[in-house]
A and B are shown apart, each in its own frame.
Chain A
Amino acid sequence: MILKLETILFIVFSAAAVFTAIMMITRRNPVASAVYLIVNFAMVSGIYLLLKAQFIAIIQVLVYMGAIMVLFLFVIMLLNLKDERKLSENFTYTKITAVLFSIALLGLMSVTIWFGFDKKYSELNMNAENIGKAEFLGKELFTTYSFPVLVVGILLTAAIIGAVVLAKKKFE
């Protein structure tokens, strides 16, 4: 069996992404978790590249690996995380039930998605090839989807006003 380079890369990237995700949630040291998360983001952006979504891949690196991770590390630095060990050893029935239900949901969804795609509808995706290109994205955002872009503008304004109210406003 001859494997295409794309397939090999996809397997490598996704295996690494799953591995780092598992490592991230099992580490006791929060800084180690954060570093695994960074690697995870990098692997996911590799998968985006394979799917010809260059723009999203770049955004993933810039925003998630750059901006958001710095925020994470700041929070870790500012918070006192000494009690973390106690939390993870505290296994209750609620947690066991939650884990069982999550596994059931995962199983159900993977089975459905594996067998469930209907060929009849999937031909509607004409733009799937273009979706990651910055040019196509920009064109769509400022023509077809100009209204949502405006609404997102209001959303950001409201969020900024809210942040100012919660953090800056002087209270009596």
Chain B
Amino acid sequence: MIQINELVNILPVLIIFIGIILTLICEILFGKNKLVVYSLSILSVLGSIAGTFYLLNKDLFVFGELLRVNNITLAFTIIILTSVLLTFIASKNYLEKEKINFGEYYIIVLSSVLGMLLMIFANDLLIVFIGLELMSICFYVLVGMLRKRVKSNESALKYFLLGAFISGFLLYGISLMYGAIGTTKISVYSTMAGITKTPVFLIGLVLYTIGFLFKMGVFPFQMWVPDVYEGAPTIVTGMMSTAGKIAAVGTIAPLIISFNVPDFKTLLAIISVLTMLFGNVIALSQSSIKRILAYSSIASAGYILVGVASMDEFAVKGILFYLAAYVFMQLGAFIVVSVYESGSKDKTDFNLLNFDDYKGLAKRNPMLGIFFSVFLLSLAGIPPLAGFWGKYYLFYVAIKSNLIWLSIIAILLSLVSLYYYLRIIVYMWFMEPSEELKETEIRSDFLSKISLILAFAGTVIFGFLPNIFFSLFNFVIK
């Protein structure tokens, strides 16, 4: 039941919703001038971030327990919105370069954000499912947006088919959970003691979790990640690998941690080891930068699962810190790639994505070189950058809950990742570019520089002052 006076309690969602409607109208009225739609969509994300601060320290149910607002959901919301904000700022340059600067891009991205926020806020499995579908359908479209590229088409179709298949798993899980307990309200589940000992409910929960593990790109549901991330427009890949992944984590991680099933703990620990192993080892043999970043995002999902597997109240805080750091470094890396890449001459394939194309990049454009090196070092987990502290807190939580073996494996595997990150850096700084490369110009405008600087600042400041930022998340768990 919608009551008007309750609308203010879901201010972030409401502002995004109004943003979608206004962007739609403005796209029709000022179709030629893309700046109106562009600034409007950025404003609505900013407004939504402001809206989350209005709701801080409230714990309330909205619309007859369909949605729930508390500090954990708000923290995830802020991280997602930051990621989308950075994406939006950097989008204009890339879209103009690829000649797909449509107003519809902003509308679809905003709709996907609405889906993510609903997933995070949901207190009813129905809303979770609708939110997930809203997010996924928008992603399918965004992935296939570069319609003339064969790879973009292929990845859109692949993502769509697999995503639709996995939605079946999720829905079946939800129906089993409903059949076992007789309600879809998530808040009711935590009040029922011994609910996880009901076998049917447990099977439903496993299928439900599988749906989200797929979206996170966790082994053995990771096969779509490299292909889809490679074929999608780079700026969309950046958003999918940060915001989309965070939305899935933010929906499933607090739920699993609140149930605290012992069998799940072992299972998730094993899955996370396999995920980290798969991501880090296969990345060693890749030659495309985008594929390497895709495999590294699989590995990151493994690190996040280390935190989830520890099943500790404190773990949510560690996951939040890692995700906040992850947004800056991963999105930053993808923005650098998107600034540098260009279409091939006949516009049917991507260009400038291989190792060889990155030879001597730092000499030709020192700013891009420095930024990319910092993002990669942070992803590898070199102190004192943000990625190091993110991993530090996750592994610390794992050690605290007696998963010492898991954290040792995680540390060893993240050492493996150093090889392929450093290889890119060596190519950028110590190799001479070919004559052909020297002639190509690197097109980066003022706006994408701003978003790179923001991501860079986030990575470095998080790294040098981890305590301040970690205490920022104190409002989640005191």
Binding site for B on A (CB under 8 A): 108-109, 112-113, 115-118, 121-125, 143-148, 150-152, 154-155, 157-159, 161-166, 169, 171-172
Contact = CB atoms under 8 A, between A and B. Distances in A.
Contacts of A164: 104
Contact of A169 (B102, B137, B199): B102
Interface in B54-68: 63-64, 66-67
Given A116-B198, A155-B133, A161-B107, A147 B66 contact: yes
A113 B247 CA distance: 31
Given A109-B203, A118-B200, 10 more contacts: A112-B203, A116-B199, A124-B182, A147-B67, A148-B126, A155-B130, A158-B137, A165-B145, A166-B147, A169-B147
Interface of B: 1-2, 17, 20, 63-64, 66-67, 99-100, 102, 104-105, 107-108, 111-112, 114-115, 118, 126-127, 130-131, 133-134, 137-138, 140-141, 144-145, 147-148, 156, 176, 179-183, 192, 195, 198-203
A165 B102 contact: yes
Nearest to A124: B182
Given A143-B1, A171-B148, A121 B181 contact: yes
Contact of A151 (B112, B127, B144): B127
Nearest to B188: A124
Given A109-B203, A165-B108, A171 B126 contact: no
A165 B183 CA distance: 39
Contacts of B179: 117
A146 B67 CA distance: 13
B130 A152 contact: yes
B66 A117 contact: no
B102 A154 contact: no
A146 B3 CA distance: 10
A128 B99 CA distance: 53
A148 B124 CA distance: 10
Contacts of A151: 114, 118, 127, 130-131, 134
A171 B144 CA distance: 13
Contact of B182 (A116, A123, A169): A123
A109 to B, nearest CB: 6
